[in-house]
């Protein structure tokens, strides 16, 4: 009976090794690695985790190694991969600081150009939806422009320019939504000013004629809501805006609408000045 009990207990203990969840065994194994004072071994394991794209575990080991291996031949590579761990874990704020720190620590490194780009790219990755604050979008533009100035021959210049264009499009859309909101709320003076500012901020926009038409419409509606003593000046502004539209966008598909507002404003001025009016079509 005693022999049977011992045999059963042995079988149970042997089997229990396989019943322990793999995640627990892995956690225990990683804990031993992390507590190890054999830093060469710890570095090899960090490299192993990094190569397997287990950036969470790799980051923890690189963090331990960051201080003790500073000044060694391994430090540059540790710094490089430590920064990328943060990036791949989508901790873009920390990654940006690490990419910046790498360039400061190793300004002559062959990887410094890449780190400059990645720092700017981290701001782009933090750029939020168009409705939200666009501080990081503006920073992404600034740092990408700085990258192009510092590395004009880089193969990444094309990508940097594409990102700048995307960021500018987002800023343009943000400003348009703000101007459109004023227009929809019937704050026509503010709408006209905002659409004018939008045109000045993005003079090469393909939508410039649309923005100019909004200026015309806003000023026309603003004139219509004005007191009698101010209507003449404000309708004259509409006429000026319409003529400017014709000069700047002679091929625009919106030219007909601009002409209609020109006719309306002109006729209103004649009425206000007691002059014969022109019938609108």
pLDDT tier, 26 (very low <50, low <70, confident <90, very high otherwise): low
* CATH number of the domain located at residue range(s) 186-281 in this protein: 1.25.40.10
CB 214 within 8 A of CB 179: yes
Residues in the chain: 281
CB 151 within 8 A of CB 157: yes
Phi, psi of 117 (to 5 degrees): -65, -45
pLDDT (mean) for 82-92: 98
Instruction: Write down the residue that tokens 């190793």 correspond to.
Output: 106
pLDDT tier, 263 (very low <50, low <70, confident <90, very high otherwise): very high
10 Å Cβ neighbour count for 49? Answer: 20
pLDDT at res. 276: 67
Q: How far apart are CA 195 and CA 218, in angstroms?
A: 9
Q: At what angle do helices 228-248 and 255-272 cross, to 10 degrees?
A: 150
pLDDT (mean) for 141-161: 98
Q: Is the pLDDT of residue 280 over 60?
A: no
pLDDT (mean) for 241-269: 97
10 Å Cβ neighbour count for 220? Answer: 23
Q: Is the pLDDT of residue 2 over 70?
A: no
pLDDT tier, 28 (very low <50, low <70, confident <90, very high otherwise): low
Q: Is the pLDDT of residue 27 over 70?
A: no
Sequence-distant (6+) residues with CB within 8 A of 90 are 125
pLDDT at res. 242: 98
Q: How far apart are CA 129 and CA 210, in angstroms?
A: 23
Task: Give the residue extent of every domain in the chain.
Answer: 186-281
CB 218 within 8 A of CB 192: yes
Percentage, residues of the chain above pLDDT 90: 83
Sequence-distant (6+) residues with CB within 8 A of 98 are 79, 82, 83, 86
pLDDT at res. 274: 85
């Amino acid at each position: 009976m005693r022999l049977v009990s011992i045999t059963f207990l042995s079988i149970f203990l042997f089997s229990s090794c396989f019943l322990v969840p793999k995640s627990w065994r892995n956690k225990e194994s990683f804990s031993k690695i992390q507590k190890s004072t054999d830093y060469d071994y710890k570095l090899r394991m960090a490299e192993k985790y990094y190569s397997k794209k287990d950036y969470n575990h790799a980051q923890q080991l690189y963090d331990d190694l960051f201080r003790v291996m500073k000044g060694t031949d391994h430090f540059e590579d540790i710094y490089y991969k430590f920064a990328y761990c943060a990036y791949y874990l989508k901790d873009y704020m920390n990654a940006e600081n690490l990419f910046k720190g790498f360039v400061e620590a190793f300004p002559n490194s062959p990887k410094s150009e890449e780190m400059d780009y990645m720092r700017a790219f981290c701001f782009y990755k933090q750029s939020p939806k168009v409705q939200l604050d666009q501080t990081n979008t503006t920073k992404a533009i600034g740092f990408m422009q700085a990258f192009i100035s510092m590395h004009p021959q880089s193969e990444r210049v094309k990508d940097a320019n594409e990102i700048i264009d995307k960021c500018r499009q987002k800023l343009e859309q943000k400003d348009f939504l703000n101007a459109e909101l004023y227009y929809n709320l019937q704050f026509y003076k503010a709408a006209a000013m905002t659409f004018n500012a939008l045109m000045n901020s993005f003079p090469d926009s393909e939508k410039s004629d649309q923005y100019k038409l909004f200026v015309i419409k806003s000023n026309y509606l603003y004139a219509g809501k004005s007191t009698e003593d101010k209507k003449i000046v404000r309708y004259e502004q509409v006429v000026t805006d319409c003529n400017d539209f014709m000069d700047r966008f002679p091929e625009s598909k919106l030219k007909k609408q601009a002409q209609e507002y020109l006719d309306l404003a002109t006729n209103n001025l004649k009425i206000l000045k007691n002059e014969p009016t022109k019938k609108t079509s």
